[in-house]
Structure 1
Amino acid sequence: MEGRRVRGGPCRPQGARRTRLCSPRPRRGEGSSRGESPLPSLEGSDRAFAPPGRCVRVREAATRCPSPSLRRPAPGTQVLDGGGLSALPWRGPRRTPRSARRRRRMLACTPFTVVSYFFMWYPPPFVSGRVAWYLTFYCLFQALTTLFQVPYSALTMFLSTDQKERDSATAYRMTMEVLGTLIGAALQGQIVASAHFSHHCTVNPPVNTTDTWHDTPSFPDPSDPLSHQAKVYMIAAGVIGGVYLLGIVILFLGVKEKDDPYALNSDRAIPFCKGLGLTMKHGPYVKLTASFLLISTAVQLEQSNFVLFCTHAADLRNHFQYLVVTILVSAAVSIPFWQKFLQRFGKKCAACGISWMIPFAVMLVTIPNLILAYLVAFVSGLSIAASLLLPWSMLPDVVDNFRLQNPHGKGHETIFYSSYVFFTKMSAGIGLGISAAGLDFTGYKPGMCRQSNDVILTLKILIGVVPAILILVGLFILLFYPITEESRKETKLALEVLRRSHQSTENLDDHKEDTSV
């Protein structure tokens, strides 16, 4: 057998390290007279030849005999020790993973988002249909923003399989979002500052009014698209649109997403309706969503009414811009602190920081003071940072828990993130609806320097009482959130086992397809 070369060349195993070869039972007449196997041991020989069409299995790695047309090894051949065998990478992966599909979607919708944002600030030449004009482009902008936000937020799950790395990426993302909000507000505020006239309030009321103050505002007519006010707003919109484009270029070129490491190639994506039903029945996700729906509504109420409260109830209208900057800076600076805190003490323990704003807001409502207002702004920034970071940091843990319970499905990450984005926007709508309904019911009049006592009382309730109740109820629901630090570690180990088993299954399937028996 050693003196005769079998047609088809040697059969070279891939990835083999042991010197023991497994082969099928020899055919009649193919062995030696002493009953030797047609595949002799590598000990004492430098080559092993297989019968025509036979294959060699070495350490669970199946191989096939190369075609006679393969005269030389392919590039990248690895030479193994012991027998001088080489591993021929005769075939690549069965399919190319669509690892950039989320970035492509974000890149595709960004130009339309920029155009819709610009036309939100462009005054059309007609006057009668301006409400429909602005409503159309505002709804289009919100829809495109949601289309961008869903793959952008779900991208965290495809950056790494390590929980600590994903938490760090989430903290970095939320820090950049708060800083981006601060930079965008500063840019637009500086550009459009020249278009605003000072809002004067005099102490000489008319004879037939009961208010002690009234305003004498002077606003330019915005009907002319070429007016100075319209021009500066369009310039500001163009600058913000340029920031949009710069951000998406950095994301598309600098971020590399990975395909689902836990899913088999044979697994099918979960249909949206079925996946939505499964997510709504998943206990940890329901508790997390219900809790932060209430907490986000409370934060939205605090943010949307803080300026009105400082202007009309606390008589701090000359300081509200600095108070808003204090909130944003405090939130941006404190996110790394919360990241270290939740790594050391756990995510459920870090959620208690959201309640820090409650006592200070109640103090500001009862004792309006400038120093206390800045203290409330600083502490509110801390609580807002915790409320922004924690849900996006806890959501990957929920997705991992769902993956462990449903190992043969894929594509559910986007369903989780899209539904959570929906609930986030719902909380913003609920907060704005409560504020608008309460102020309109008590007789709030925009542009007035002094509002009625009912409006002031409503602002105090919207700043102090309602957010406190919503935050406390949300934290109470979060107590029943079942994922703890211990369960996170167990889930991590179980997913590692699942990932290794899937990789071995994929390798076995590839070997079965590539082997000629």
Structure 2
Amino acid sequence: MTSSPPARPPADPKLNFGTKLAFGAGDAGSAITANLLIFYLSPFLTDVAGLSPGMAAQTQLIGKFWDAVNDPVMGVVSDRTAFGKWGRRYPWMLIGGIPLGLFFFLQWIVPHFSSDAATNQWGLFWYYTLISILFNTAFTMVNLPYTALTPELTQDYDERTQLNSFRFLFSIGGSIVSIIIFDFIIKQIFADPAQQYLAMGIVLGLLAAVPIYWCVWGTRKREREMAARHPNEDVAVSMPLIQQLKIVASNKPFLYVVGIYLCSWFSVQLTATIIPYYLRSWMLTPQATGVVILAVQGTAMAMLLVWSKLSDRYGKQAVYFMGMGLWVIAQFGLFFLQPGQVGLMYFMAMLAGFGVSVAYLIPWSMLPDVIELDELNTGQRREGIFYSFIVFLQKICLGIAVALVLACLGWAGYVKPTDAIPIPVQPDAVLWVIRLAIGPLPTLALIAGLIMAYFYPITREVHAEILLKLAERKNNRQGA
């Protein structure tokens, strides 16, 4: 006798537009704060607060290490705790929303601790380090449970890509709004850079907190419906942490996703950190910072739905190759640009936006598929540990990379701008550090990501087979 293949599980109701919109809004606050910190924190610390590049590197490195450490802690906590009808994720988002905005604001204050320059340096160092730790704690409380919601709202392979499209529409949209408010409104009102950053902290700190509560309100009904249909997915995880980490590290598709994500976001964040220095010291166009960022983010936002549609037709890997190929050309081209080639610089920024859009969309769309493979192998849903593990590695690597770049600027003899000399002539060694950090280093990372994407094994067909096996297991348990 031959056994019949397992019946295809009944399809879940499709996500409605309101749920997609509310889910997307949940990333706006995190994007606003993270975007401004990526682009402006380093020049704020060195050029406005007055920290040396070496101390600015150290305070960011400590903040990133703490941010990395608290991610797996939050991932395990959110997996292992359930708050009755509120589930595993929402309470943490509700608790962390207001502190996220508050500590973001405090990051842009320039306190004065002593008339002695050395003492004041150390006072500033410890102040910004403490605020960084507190902000990153609140950020993790909000962002990690939020990202872990994706597989809990839908199991559909293509619908997850659509859901992430809405997420990153708000993410990039929040980034664009933050740049417009800061570069084109606040900077026109205040002339003093310290006042500009302070006003930005107040306005955008408030704006960052509100969308988090919209997300909780707008997605909770869907999450409860899915928890009722798939009750095993909202159960607190009981497996010991060390055993969880061993299983995560042995999941080969997950390791490919980690590599793809790290390579993409290494390029994004390294470029974002160095771009203000590149525009001021190499291109001699510091006023172009906001326009360049908008060119990248605006193109990335416009392409999200295009890439999502292409992914539905050709698959996630194909879309990744398309976007990364364009980005490699743009990123390496920045190394060869000369002062005065402003039009070409804007073109490169737009071309990079095609790839940045894919970096937002594809790795996060792959991760829920990996989580279901893990569920098939272990019998448990562990979104939190997977999301936290990937972000942990990202923050450790990027924290080290950004700190090294800032430290290299200091070692090379970086000259701080002043009111009298807003664009000082930098030593050749500083210019080489800036150009290498914006061109060859990110380009090599993008090429490594392309290689790993080539070997990523979970296609649409493989994912469908995983879901069928999970459905068969569920039917067997119910029939037992």
Deviation per CA, 1:76-95, whole angstroms, max 9, x where unpaired?
A: xxxxxxxxxxxxxxxxxxx9
Task: Tell me which of 463, 470, 477 is aligned to 2:452.
Answer: 477
Sort the Cα spacing of 1:389 and 1:150 in 2 relative to 1 into closer, same or farther, 3 A: same
Does the 8 Å contact 1:300/1:427 carry over to 2?
A: no
Shift of 1:155: 0.8
Task: Give the secondary-structure state (helix, strand or coil) at the position aligned to 2:89.
Answer: helix
Match of 1:154 among 143, 148, 152: 148
Give the CA deviation at 1:124.
4.5
Q: Offset at 1:336?
A: 1.0
**Map of 1:314 onto structure 2:** 283
Alignment of 1:407-426 (within 5 A): 407=379, 409-410=380-381, 412-426=382-396
Report the alpha carbon displacement of residue 402 of structure 1 after superposing the two structures with TM.
0.9
| Residue number in structure 2 paired with 1:248 | 212
Q: 1:322 to 1:406 in 2, by over 3 A?
A: same
- 2:300 aligned with 1:331: yes
1:465 to 430, 436, 440: 440
2:468: which partner in 1? 493
Deviation at 1:192, TM superposition (A): 4.8
TM-score (norm 2): 0.72
Give, in whole Å, the separation in 1 of the partners of 2:264 and 2:198: 35
1: CA distance between counterparts of 2:398 and 2:235? 40
Answer yes or no: is 1:178 the counterpart of 2:172: yes
State the shift of 1:108 in Å.
0.9
Q: CA deviation at 1:292?
A: 2.2
State whether structure 2 residue 104 is matched by structure 1 residue 117: yes
Contact 1:444 1:455 in 2 (8 A): yes
Hey, what's the Cα distance between the residues in 2 that align with 1:317 and 1:240?
22
The letter of the residue matching 1:470 is A
Evaluate the alpha carbon distance shift between residue 301 and residue 175 of structure 1 in structure 2; reply closer, same or farther with a 3 A threshold: same
Tell me, yes or no, if structure 1 residue 191 matches structure 2 residue 179.
no
Match of 2:318 in 1: 349
Distance 1:461 1:125, change over 3 A: closer
Question: When the two structures are superposed, what TM-score results if normalisation uses the length of structure 1?
Answer: 0.67
Cα deviation, residue 312, structure 1: 2.2
Alignment partner for residue 449 of structure 1, among 402, 424, 430? 424
Q: How far off is 1:326 after superposition?
A: 0.8
Shift of 1:119: 2.4
Cα distance between partner residues in 1 of 2:182 and 2:239 = 43
Aligned ranges 1:100-111 → 2 under 5 Å = 100-111=87-98
Letter in 2 for 1:112: P
Of residues 195, 203, 213, the one that matches 1:239 is 203
* Percent identical: 24
2:171 alignment partner AA? E
Shift of 1:432: 0.8
Deviation digits for residues 394-424 of structure 1, max 9, x if unmatched? Answer: 00010011111122x24x1111011112123
- Kindly state the Cα deviation for residue 96 of structure 1 after the two structures are TM-superposed: 9.8
Deviation at 1:180, TM superposition (A): 0.6
Deviation of 1:437 after TM superposition, in Å, equals: 3.1
Q: What is the distance in 2 between the residues matched to 1:386 and 1:330?
A: 11
**1:211 aligned partner:** none
Q: Note if contact 2:335-2:438 (Cα within 8 Å) is conserved in structure 1.
A: yes
2:330 to 360, 366, 372: 360
SS of residue paired to 1:450: coil
Contact 2:253 2:456 in 1 (8 A): yes
Mapped to 1, the partners of 2:235 and 2:299 lie a distance apart of 48
Shift of 1:302: 2.1
Deviations 1:33-71 (A, max 9, x none): xxxxxxxxxxxxxxxxxxxxxxxxxxxxxxxxxxxxxxx
Q: SS where residue 332 of structure 2 aligns?
A: helix
The answer as to whether partners of 1:97 and 1:259 remain within 8 angstroms in 2 is: no
Q: CA deviation at 1:367?
A: 4.1
Match of 2:414, SS state, is coil
Q: What is the distance in 1 between the residues matched to 2:320 and 2:364?
A: 12
Contact preservation (8 Å) 1:358, 1:464: no
Equivalent residues, number = 378
- Alpha-carbon deviation of 1:375? 1.0
Q: Distance in 2 between matches of 1:444 and 1:422?
A: 31
Match 2:342 to one of 355, 370, 382: 370
Contact 1:120 1:134 in 2 (8 A): yes
Which residue does 1:165 correspond to in 2?
A: 159
Give the match for residue 139 of structure 1: 133
Aligned residue for 2:286, secondary structure, equals coil
Distance in 2 separating the partners of 1:157 and 1:313? 44
Distance (whole Å) between structure 1 residues aligned to residue 84 and residue 469 of structure 2: 24
Gaps of 5+ in 1: 1-94, 198-218, 223-228, 509-517
Q: Which has the larger radius of gyration?
A: 1
Stretches of structure 2 lacking an aligned partner (at least 5 in a row): 1-81, 115-119, 418-422
Contact 2:337 2:345 in 1 (8 A): no
* Cα distance in 2 for residues equivalent to 1:272 and 1:345: 37
User: C-alpha separation between the residues in 1 aligned to 2:235 and 2:175?
Assistant: 43
Q: Is the 8 A contact 1:323 1:374 kept in 2?
A: yes
CA distance in 1, matches of 2:274, 2:402: 9
Between structures 1 and 2, the one with greater helix share: 2
Kindly provide the amino acid, as one letter, of the partner of residue 401 in structure 2. Answer: G
Q: Residue 396 and residue 324 in structure 1: after superposition, are their counterparts in 2 closer, same or farther (change >3 A)?
A: same
1:75 equivalent in structure 2? none
Note the alpha carbon deviations across 1:198-227, whole angstroms, 9 max, x for none.
xxxxxxxxxxxxxxxxxxxxx7xx7xxxxx
1:381 to 332, 335, 353: 353
CA-to-aligned-CA distance 1:106-142 (integer Å, 9 cap, x gap): 1012222222223223445744434322321121101
By how many angstroms is 1:476 displaced?
Answer: 1.3
**Residue 123 and residue 453 in structure 1: after superposition, are their counterparts in 2 closer, same or farther (change >3 A)?**
closer
Instruction: Give the C-alpha shift of residue 233 in structure 1.
Output: 4.5
Aligned Cα root-mean-square deviation (Å)? 2.6
| Cα distance change, pair 250–464 in 1 and its aligned pair in 2 (3 A) | same
Which residue matches 2:117?
Answer: none
